[in-house]
A and B are shown apart, each in its own frame.
Chain A
Amino acid sequence: MTDLSLTTASRPRVMRLAVPALLLALLVVAPMLAYPLFVMKLLCFALFASAFNLLLGYTGLLSFGHATFFGGAGYVTAHAIKAWGLEPLSAILLGTLAATAMGLVMGAVAIRRQGIYFAMTTLALSQMAYFLFLRAPFTNAEDGIQNVPRGAALGLIDLNDITHLYVLVAGIFVLGMGIIWQVIHSPFGHVLRAIRENETRAQSLGYRVDRYKLGAFVISAGLTGLAGATKVLVFQIATLNDVSWQMSGSVILMGLLGGVGTAAGPSVGAGLIITIENYLATTGFPVQVILGLIFILCVLTFRQGIVGTLAARLRRA
């Protein structure tokens, strides 16, 4: 287990303040520099990858089933808006809650096994969820839920206005990242890291390891759902693609590439992967091959990821 645990120990104090400040500034100027829809997609995936990282990076659990929460929340939100006419913020909240509940169920089964078996179990359970979504009457199978209206937040703020939408998405991103930050730096988060480092020891110290793991799983699932629900509002569509194992694989790659166990790594990884996917989408060359190659390269040579490697360099300097 220790291999995946990349240190999160102290960085220079300046960095600790500078990085969030820089990121906030970037958040403000980003939609002026790039296509706003692309930036919003990026934010959704950055939050997704960061939520996933809470589990892999800070608890040492590799979930191969996070697409279920991402796409599952998307389906619930899309259905709530389109079929029930729910107000968008409540629909996002509902999607998030649904993902949390799914996380509770999947987590309760999966944490009964450790390490590699945990990964395989989550993969299998999420494949089961995939088939259930495929068959469920409200998901329209291969077509997905299309043309989801964005509506007006709280009935007042028109989200068809791209600026309004961006502010909402950016706000959700900051909220989600803030929650993750809080969790990591809470006593709860420290216990999670203790479990990651040495589960047996944490247990012998009297921590109910299973409850902590389940707690981390549920929080991670919920935040993943928040990201997935928000994405529905941006793209106005919920599809099978978002609940497929390929999506679970993508988010692992984002974490791995950016740096598992670093706060900023998954966002960096998400940015890179999304950019690569966008670029390749126009060339006709299968994205899958490039993603696979990056996977292999990361595992063989670059296990700390970009941010992890940079952080290690900075510490040594």
Chain B
Amino acid sequence: MAEFMGIPLPVLFGQLLIGLFNGAFYAILSLGLAIIFGLLRVINFAHGALYMLGAFAAFLMGEWLGLSFWVLLIAAPLAVAAFAALVERLLLSWLRGLDPLYGLLLTFGLALVIEGLFQWRFGVAGQQFPMPASLSGTTILGPLILPHYRVFVILAALAVCLLTWAAIERTRIGAILRAATENRPLAEAFGFNVPLLMTATYAFGAGLAGLAGVLAAPVFQVSPLMGTNLIIVVFAVVVIGGMGSIGGAILAGLMLGLAEGLTKVVYPEASNIIVFVIMAIVLFFRPAGLFGKAA
């Protein structure tokens, strides 16, 4: 069997694929965090809870309405986005102009409430979510074993990230968003409805989290606590990438997923903490993050 540095190639490629798969989630989630932080100056601690909500929305709508995976892929994120828009209007908008730490604390409290309520209603055990039949196969290419669903998630995540990036960099709405991020009073003076833009931005970021939740549902189980540990890893990813750049968030997410996958091959015991170790190292040498501008 082909080997690389003593590691069988199928094992190595398998872990790298899983790493890239996890990295896809990191990328979508940290992208949402970065967009929200850019305009609202809020670190959205509820991002993990919104991710969980996306998975549950898909699970429940699938159970009750019998919707197909492809419909859920659109419907569930929209539901999460609608919920998030309410949250922004009713809660977050009260914190404008305050220290960003308050936004972190508010969304932390929100995450506790949401996750607590779901835990109360559904218990901690995971719910099975069926994988779409059209994606349940596997292709074997030499040493490469490719489960279709995982490949689909990676490609879908890349597409979503690129589309988001293009929308922000190349469209008119994106230009307004960037203007408001750069200088809010000036954007308002030009007559743009910045509060509405903020609500929309939060809802969009939350929708991305919801989408990640739906994508995760068939592979990981749908459980009330599926987002709690994930969000902390994603925070580390964001610290590593530097919150300033959209591209940085995406790249850092994918790279750290890969790093995690590699660690699983080389030294499995450390795979839980490798992201945090990398964060500490990056902070030590480049406090602003890999892609961030100095604060």
Contact = CB atoms under 8 A, between A and B. Distances in A.
Chain B associates with chain A? yes
A119 B106 contact: no
A2 to B, nearest CB: 8
B156 interface: no
Interface stretch (B131-139, B159-167, B182-190, B230-238): B230-238
Interface string A244-257: 01000100100010
B79 to A, nearest CB: 21
Given A3-B98, A256-B105, A296-B109, 11 more contacts: A110-B283, A113-B283, A116-B43, A119-B101, A121-B279, A123-B232, A127-B236, A128-B280, A289-B112, A289-B120, A292-B109
Contacts of B239: 113, 117, 120-121, 124
Contacts of B200: none
B112 A120 contact: no
Contacts of B109: 291-296, 298-299
Please classify how large the interface on chain B is, using the bins under 10, 10 to 19, 20 to 34, 35 or more.
Answer: 35 or more
Interface stretch (B14-22, B51-59, B269-277): B269-277
A299 B102 contact: yes
B105 A4 contact: no
Contacts, number: 128
Interface string A84-95: 000000000000
B219 to A, nearest CB: 22
A291 B117 CA distance: 12
Contacts of A293: 109, 113
A285 B26 CA distance: 32
A309 to B, nearest CB: 16
Contacts of A252: 105, 108
Interface of B: 43, 91, 94-95, 98-102, 104-106, 108-117, 119-120, 228-229, 232-233, 235-236, 238-239, 243, 269, 272-273, 275-277, 279-280, 283-284, 287, 295
A115 B101 contact: yes
Given A3-B99, A252-B105, A289-B120, A128 B113 contact: no
Interface in A3-22: 3-4
Contacts of A128: 273, 276-277, 280
A140 interface: no
Interface in A122-139: 123-125, 127-128, 131-132, 135
A17 to B, nearest CB: 34
Contacts of A125: 276, 279-280
Contacts of A116: 43, 100-101, 104
Contact of A295 (B95, B112, B232, B243): B112
Q: How large is the interface on A (under 10, 10 to 19, 20 to 34, 35 or more residues)?
A: 35 or more
Contact of A124 (B94, B98, B236): B236
27 contacts: A2-B99, A3-B98, A62-B101, A112-B283, A112-B284, A114-B295, A117-B243, A119-B101, A121-B239, A124-B233, A124-B279, A127-B232, A127-B276, A245-B228, A286-B116, A286-B119, A288-B112, A289-B113, A292-B108, A292-B109, A292-B110, A292-B113, A294-B109, A296-B110, A298-B105, A299-B95, A299-B105
B10 to A, nearest CB: 28
A287 B113 CA distance: 9
A314 interface: no
B105 A295 contact: yes
B223 to A, nearest CB: 15
Interface in A269-288: 285-288
Nearest to A114: B295
A113 B235 CA distance: 14
B284 A299 contact: no
A125 B119 CA distance: 26
B99 A286 contact: no
Contact of B287 (A113, A124, A135, A249): A113
The 8 closest A-B pairs by CB, nearest first: A295-B109, A292-B112, A288-B116, A128-B276, A292-B113, A289-B116, A3-B99, A124-B236
Contacts of B43: 116, 119-120
Contacts of A124: 232-233, 235-236, 239, 275-276, 279
A131 to B, nearest CB: 4
Contact of B117 (A1, A245, A289): A289
Nearest to A62: B101
Contacts of B279: 121, 124-125
Contact of A288 (B105, B119, B295): B119
B99 A132 contact: no
A298 B95 CA distance: 12
A238 to B, nearest CB: 21
B177 to A, nearest CB: 20
A128 B91 CA distance: 31
B232 A245 contact: yes
